[in-house]
Structure 1
Amino acid sequence: MIKNNNIDNIGGMEFATFRLKEGVTETRLVELSHQVEAEFLSQQEELILHFLVRGTDGVYADVAIASSQEKAEEYCQQWLRNKVALEYLELLDKESVNMTFWSKIN
């Protein structure tokens, strides 16, 4: 999902790596990611970009780029109060999650 293609508005990012729970398919992850975008993330005005990437050995990353690191952190906390976002989070192997936040410096 891209809400605003002006790169000058980028100020912060959430970057979370994870593995899926046993038995969860990538197809289901992508389906729920689209649902989260449609029902939740599309309402976040300062969210600029959200996407999933797949690495090697079954590792995925969920990336959210916002107007500031603070906004990225705020949106991340809101996942815990949204029904479809919580459903998405249930797909993840909790022990494998590594979430970090970043601020643009250049």
Structure 2
Amino acid sequence: MIKNGNIENIGGLEFATFRLKNCVTEDDLIKLSIKVEERFLSQQEELVLHFLVRGADGVYADVAIASSQEKAEEYCQQWLHNEVALEYLEVIEKESVNMTFWQRIN
């Protein structure tokens, strides 16, 4: 999902790495990510970009780029109160999550 595609709109981001629960496939994750984008993230006005990446050994990262680090953190908190976002979070091994927030400096 890309919104407000101008690089000048980028001020901060959320970077969360995680593993999937054993019974969950990558296709399941992708379908849920699309559902979250359509029904939740598309409503966040200052969200610039959201995507998933896969690393080595079954580690995934969810990346959300927003107008500021504060907005990225605010949107992250909203996941805990959104039905579709909670469905997405249910497929993740909670103990594997490493979430960080970053601020653009140049």
Same fold by TM-score, threshold 0.5 exceeded?
yes
Q: In the aligned structure 2, how far is the partner of 1:21 from the partner of 1:103? A: 30
AA partner of residue 5 (structure 1): G
Question: What is residue 94 of structure 1 aligned with on the other side?
Answer: 94
Q: In the aligned structure 2, how far is the partner of 1:94 from the partner of 1:37? A: 21
Deviation at 1:90, TM superposition (A): 0.3
Local SS of the residue matching 2:8: helix
AA partner of residue 7 (structure 1): I
AA partner of residue 20 (structure 2): L
Q: In the aligned structure 2, how far is the partner of 1:34 from the partner of 1:3? A: 14
Identity of aligned residues (%): 79
Local SS of the residue matching 1:14: strand
Q: In the aligned structure 1, how far is the partner of 2:47 from the partner of 2:26? A: 24
What is the RMSD of the two structures over their aligned residues, measured on CA atoms?
Answer: 0.3
Equivalent positions of 1:1-106 (< 5 A) are 1-106=1-106
Q: Which residues of structure 1 form unaligned runs of 5+?
A: none
Give the TM-score normalised by the residue count of structure 2.
Answer: 0.99
Q: Which residues of structure 2 form unaligned runs of 5+?
A: none
CA displacement, residues 61-106 of structure 1 (integer Å, 9 cap, x when unaligned): 0000000000000000000000010000000000100000000001
Q: In the aligned structure 2, how far is the partner of 1:4 from the partner of 1:58? A: 31
Q: In the aligned structure 2, how far is the partner of 1:63 from the partner of 1:41? A: 12
Give the TM-score normalised by the residue count of structure 1.
Answer: 0.99
Q: Which runs of 4+ in 1 moved over 2 A?
A: none
